Structure 1
């Protein structure tokens, strides 16, 4: 494969060098920010050797090459286009500038919570291991091994505000370590740790006319997001007016004091109210909507993915984990994702074009592993009816997992990898997840055949 030749073919089909703002790549896709996405000739790009699909999503034009190929194409592309290699922050900023306010907000939340996923998944798996050890009585509850694993499993949720504070400050343009300090203030040992102590009653302190509840924010999400946003605004404002000679001394000092008082007096309590309100509304819909709620959410989720707003769901899921200890939304999203894979698999079987088969099979497999953009934009949405069939499969699978109360103990994983965070909640939970998985995939596969999509001509 001639990567230089591929790069030379791509540039004019993307509207020329002057239309390319920024470029980077992930494990399988070349990701570009273009001045005008309409100038990109997606169909002609898909006919280039090595290209498995091309689509526009969430402020980026993405070209699927596959693992081991995309990085070589990227190197040739940046040389040919005369673009500097990879400033990730500049690329993310370029993406956000192209989005509408709602999509930009969703992308911001995604950038904050995605880096925290490994910590949440690790804690979820440890909790599952701890639950199995307790259920099967492998070790005594007062044994050193059990006590240590209990510490390890709960640590990420206890210091969650510190993790979020660091990540959010970076996203909001503040100093990440000051964001972590704000999280530390909100989880200070002098404050009562409410995590897992729902019935505990805090002491009160009278200060500036306020009665301050001496309660911490361990395991919360919304309060630290608001606090870090305010902190970043304060810090950036101070940097504009404080002389550089004393900036290092004055700015962090004033930022921490000012934001700390605002957080303890106002932001913390307000954030808790907002977080509790979100959880209450979701619980109401989940418990009283039942299978109907799963049917609607599972059917519509893939449409939400197209808009990019789904990135904001990580924050909602993290809040559910912090408040309830389980995530009942992720199984629904997983049904929608694997249904897209089922529809893509049907396109692979039914298609007569070699090019379509080459795209459909790996794209469908990636959907089963939780990555749906290739199959949505490269296959199902392209032919429309498979996308509708996938929505049907997602709806039926979503209805089933809600009806059977399937939950996860983390967020970030869907499809086959999600088994790891579903299994710890019990064998019954796992079995119902797998049944829902099968319902979503099979119904999407069958619906694709019944709807009789028309394949484009050569």
Structure 2
């Protein structure tokens, strides 16, 4: 077995450009992660020849080789021993990889580092809101009535579920504050306090702001003649992102200049005090306005041309995943939910996941003579249908290209349909087929039709393309069979 891993390691190291090209390497649950000096030296064909390698791609400055759970740690240990590159933590490899990123890529990676840690809480909230949707949605079980309207004893049960589910969104600035301040090098506990400060009960709720403004009923602070609106930022992302950056930088600045014996008494109070005033005087009002502009921009585009908007976002979401740019749209989703109470972008994400799964499933039927590829295609398609597309995208579809393009087409057509039918979601949930429970119940039928489109079109397009082009498939490569018939 050791010899087998030795050969695998030799092939992987050769495929990534040799050990001289490796700056740092680590691994996660399924992948080897490399920070390379020059990614142009990577030989993907060499990597594809290795049996345990299920795919390889570059994202956020790291070149990642998908191997699989249980095997990746053994391969990594053998690689460290064989090459002498030394072990590295995920953070160390990320830090090295960041030096290879341009400013835009660094900004996208920063957003990913902030939002990914809080996704479990948001997805959980989305699932619970889905349960609440089932209980309170009209027309699901009874015509023009909800379950709790017919069986009133369930109303308080549904109300408690709604409260639990809404907590993550109500106190979203606290979650973002914790993650953002940590990412920017500050004390994450101060980030939580900063986030809670922006949604304090004594402030006007952000969702009531338009009505209060129209009525001229907004409370004010008078700071030596400067009038400041006493408004909270529930559901808003930009105010806490900018405020967290400021807080972290002030804290880091003070920690370097204040003696250790006085840091507890000086650093946190001054950091919060300065950031708090800036948040309510400058940061909050400016970023709140920018957030509304962003909301208006996306709403305007999709209202004016839903076909074009759905077509482009549905087709391009999967390529955005490859680049890591899809993380920027998490912030847009949160902004839409906080501003208008729902998002029309996230349902398209779910269709994109489903489409990738459908293409991978078609590959299982095409790869008749390769048990490894058949097994990988089946398991990765199931994973994609449940919202995790990485095995399908990088292990199957991107490797053979035409399944990936077929998935893009199916996702785009499904997105057009749900946009024409104004399908929206009150939250972010689990992508893939379970996403239907996070959709407003009155749009379940429309979303179901969109899912059918995202399954049928990629499946048959992938299948017929594979047949018509006379491809013979195996897990290491794809070969075109020439047609010599007259």
Q: TM-score, normalised by structure 2?
A: 0.85
Consecutive unaligned residues in structure 1, runs of 5 or more: none
Pairwise CA distance, 1:24: 3.2
Distance 1:77 1:366, change over 3 A: farther
Question: For residue 394 of structure 1, what is the aligned residue in structure 2?
Answer: 411
Question: For residue 397 of structure 2, what is the aligned residue in structure 1?
Answer: 380
Question: For residue 285 of structure 1, what is the aligned residue in structure 2?
Answer: 301
- Pick aligned residue for 1:443 from 446, 457, 460: 457
- Pick aligned residue for 2:431 from 409, 414, 419: 414
Q: Does 1:233 align with 2:249?
A: yes
Q: Distance in 1 between matches of 2:252 and 2:240?
A: 18
Q: Does 1:188 align with 2:200?
A: yes
Deviation digits for residues 57-84 of structure 1 (CA, Å, limit 9, x no counterpart): 3322222222332233333333434455
Pairwise CA distance, 1:242: 3.0
Deviation digits for residues 388-420 of structure 1 (CA, Å, limit 9, x no counterpart): 222211111111121222222322632123234
Aligned partners of 1:168 and 1:225 also within 8 Å: yes
Distance 1:338 1:149, change over 3 A: closer
Question: For residue 4 of structure 1, what is the aligned residue in structure 2?
Answer: 5
Q: Does 1:173 align with 2:191?
A: no
Q: Give SS of 2:295's match.
A: helix
Q: Distance in 1 between matches of 2:479 and 2:158?
A: 62
Aligned partners of 2:175 and 2:195 also within 8 Å: yes
Distance 1:123 1:382, change over 3 A: closer
Q: Distance in 1 between matches of 2:446 and 2:420?
A: 10
Question: For residue 265 of structure 1, what is the aligned residue in structure 2?
Answer: 281
Pairwise CA distance, 1:142: 11
Aligned partners of 2:350 and 2:433 also within 8 Å: no
Aligned partners of 2:131 and 2:437 also within 8 Å: no
167-176 or 114-123: which moved more? 114-123
Q: Give SS of 2:64's match.
A: strand
Q: Give SS of 2:222's match.
A: strand
Q: Distance in 1 between matches of 2:297 and 2:130?
A: 27
- Pick aligned residue for 2:80 from 78, 82, 86: 78
Q: Distance in 2 between matches of 1:20 and 1:106?
A: 24
Distance 1:34 1:361, change over 3 A: farther
Distance 1:119 1:346, change over 3 A: same
Q: Distance in 2 between matches of 1:103 and 1:65?
A: 25
Pairwise CA distance, 1:22: 3.0
Pairwise CA distance, 1:448: 2.7
Q: Give SS of 1:55's match.
A: strand
Distance 1:338 1:147, change over 3 A: closer
Pairwise CA distance, 1:170: 0.9
Aligned partners of 1:326 and 1:408 also within 8 Å: yes
Q: Distance in 1 between matches of 2:355 and 2:156?
A: 44
- Pick aligned residue for 1:316 from 327, 332, 335: 332
Q: Give SS of 1:457's match.
A: strand
Consecutive unaligned residues in structure 2, runs of 5 or more: 137-145, 473-477, 481-486
- Pick aligned residue for 2:263 from 222, 235, 247: 247
Pairwise CA distance, 1:199: 2.4
Aligned partners of 1:107 and 1:308 also within 8 Å: yes
Q: Distance in 2 between matches of 1:131 and 1:139?
A: 15
Q: Distance in 1 between matches of 2:401 and 2:314?
A: 18
Deviation digits for residues 14-55 of structure 1 (CA, Å, limit 9, x no counterpart): 333332233333333222222222233222222223222223
Q: Give SS of 1:30's match.
A: strand
- Pick aligned residue for 2:164 from 125, 133, 152: 152
Q: Give SS of 1:303's match.
A: helix
Q: Does 1:432 align with 2:446?
A: yes
Q: Distance in 1 between matches of 2:436 and 2:99?
A: 37
Q: Give SS of 1:174's match.
A: coil
Q: Does 1:211 align with 2:222?
A: no
Q: Does 1:136 align with 2:160?
A: no
CA RMSD of aligned residues (A): 2.7
